[in-house]
Amino acid sequence: MSVYDFAYTSIEGNPVSMREYGGKVLLIANTASKCGFAPQFGGLEDLYRKYGDQGFEVIGFPCNQFMDQEPGDAKAITEFCSVRYGVTFPLSGKVDVRDEGAIPLYVYLTRMKGFEGMGKGLKNKAFEAMLKAKYGKGFRDSQIKWNFTKFLVDRKGEVVARFEPPVEPLDIAPFIEELL
């Protein structure tokens, strides 16, 4: 099994098979326009433009599960992303990424790469304290904890890394380059 065994619905309402991304390096992120991490849309777009011609794709999955930070409809989300951050990478329709309602792709992603702290040695004590206060014992479970959790997928469709929200997209560039 790989990410290529899943599908999603685009923000335009069209079915998309992950097989369409076969042979590419992917960065998959759950997003929210009203989140404090929303400026990461710009960093994701920078990565997409820098590496897109080398077989790299970014896919954003808008989600409203974390403090209602993605309240808009498809039109509002698309407009915000394109006007504010110049986003041209694909977006899905709004989805759930944790708990019982999580789309199958996110169930798979979190099973393949669980929560391992703040990610690649980067620490944010305030964010970590907020997560512990919100999730208590479940803090170390594999579910998505917040907006802008990012998964890196190799050309074979295998999930190779998970980066938590405080990790800036441009800090992921060396890992992308390794896979390209």
Is 89 within 8 Å of 44 (Cβ atoms)?
yes
Between CA 90 and CA 11 the distance in angstroms is: 8
Q: Which two tokens stand for residue 13?
A: 């309402």
Interatomic CA distance for residues 57 and 71, integer angstroms? 25
104 burial (CB, 10 Å; 0-12 / 13-18 / 19+) is exposed
Which of 119, 142, 122, 109 has the alpha carbon at shortest distance from 3?
Answer: 109
Is 35 annotated as catalytic? yes
Please give the structure tokens belonging to residue 46.
């920078």
Catalytic option among 28, 35, 44, 176: 35
65 vs 106: CA distance, rounded Å:
13
Provide the pairing of β-strand 150-153 with 15-17.
Answer: unpaired
Active site residues: 35
